[in-house]
A and B are shown apart, each in its own frame.
Chain A
Amino acid sequence: MASLDTLLFLGVDGLTSGAVYALLGLGIVLIYLVTRVINIAHGDFAMLAAMTLVSLEHGQLPGTSYLLAAGALLWGALAAWSARRHGALAIARPCLGALAVAALGFALPLALAAMQAPAVLNAALAVLMVAALGPMFHRLAIEPIPRASVLVYIIVTLGMHLILQGLALQLWGPQAHSVAPLLSGSLAIGVVVISHQSLLVLGITVLLVAALYAGFNHTLSGKALRACAVNRTGADLCGIEVASAGRRAFGLGAGLAAVAGVLIAPLVGVHYEMGFLIGLKGFVGATLGGLLSYPAAIVGGVLIGGFESAFSYLSSAYRDALVFLLIIPILLLQTARLKRRGVAHEH
Chain B
Amino acid sequence: MSIETRGLLAVAALVALVSLAGAEFYASVLATMGIYALLGLSLVILALSGQVSLGHAAFMGLGAYASALLVARTGLPPAVGLLAGLGVSGAAAWLIGSATSSLRGHFLALTTLAWGIALAVCFRAAGDWTGGASGLAGIAPFTLFGVSLSAPRPMAMLSWGCALLVVFAVLRVQRSRTGRALGAVRQQELMAESFGISVSRMRLWTFVVSAMVAGWAGGLYAHYLGFISPSPFDLSGSIKGLMIAVVGGELSALGALAGTGIVEGLNWVLQAVLPAVSSSASSLEPLFYGVLIITVMLFFPEGLWTRVDRVLATRGARPNGTALNSRLNTAPAPGGEPVLDVDQVGVSFGGVKALDGVSFRLYAGEVLGLIGPNGAGKSTCFDVISGVNERHAGQVRLHGEPLAQARARGRLARSFQHTRLLEDRTVLDNVMLGAFRRTRNGVLAAVFGRDTRDEGAIAASARDCLARVGLAEGAQRLVETLSLGERRLVEVARALMADPEVLLLDEPAAGLRRADRERLVALIRALHAQGCTIVLVEHDMDIVMALATRVVVLDRGRLIADAAPAAVRRDPRVIEAYLGTGDETC
Contacts and interface: CB of A to CB of B under 8 A. Distances in A.
B115 A324 contact: yes
B292 to A, nearest CB: 8
A325 B118 contact: yes
A155 B102 contact: no
Contact of B106 (A151, A160, A174, A328): A151
B301 to A, nearest CB: 6
Contacts of A159: 289-294, 297
Interface residues of A, number: 47
A42 B293 CA distance: 17
A148 B301 CA distance: 9
Nearest to B287: A166
Interface in A3-44: 38, 40
A318 B125 contact: yes
A321 B289 contact: no
A334 B292 CA distance: 35
Contacts of B510: none
A163 B290 contact: yes
A280 B113 contact: yes
A239 B287 CA distance: 39
A151 B121 contact: no
Given A280-B113, A317-B125, A320-B117, A162 B103 contact: no
Contacts of B115: 324-325, 327-328
Contacts of B99: 328, 332
Interface stretch (B71-79, B193-201, B278-286, B468-476): B278-286
Contact of B297 (A150, A156, A339): A156
B119 A161 contact: no
A155 B246 contact: yes
Contacts of B109: 151, 154
B137 interface: no
A345 B291 CA distance: 33
A184 B80 CA distance: 60
A38 B54 CA distance: 13
B104 interface: yes
Of residues A148, A170, A325, A336, which shows the largest number of chain B Cβ atoms within 10 Å of its Cβ? A325
A290 B175 CA distance: 37
A328 B111 contact: yes
Nearest to A162: B290
A331 B102 CA distance: 9
A75 interface: no
A163 B301 CA distance: 19
Contacts of A334: 107
Q: Which 3 A-B pairs have the closest CB atoms?
A: A166-B287, A162-B290, A159-B293
Contact of B114 (A151, A163, A174, A284): A284
A314 B99 CA distance: 25
Contacts of A165: 286
B389 interface: no
B174 to A, nearest CB: 21
A283 interface: yes
Given A152-B297, A166-B285, 10 more contacts: A38-B106, A150-B105, A155-B293, A155-B297, A159-B291, A283-B110, A324-B115, A331-B111, A332-B103, A347-B105
Contacts of B293: 155-156, 158-159, 162
A327 B297 contact: no
A39 B294 CA distance: 14
B119 A327 contact: no
A312 interface: no
Contact of A328 (B52, B114, B125, B280): B114
Interface in B186-237: 235
Nearest to B132: A317
20 contacts: A38-B110, A141-B298, A145-B298, A154-B52, A154-B54, A154-B110, A155-B242, A156-B294, A156-B297, A156-B298, A158-B242, A158-B293, A161-B290, A166-B283, A170-B283, A324-B117, A324-B118, A328-B111, A331-B100, A334-B107
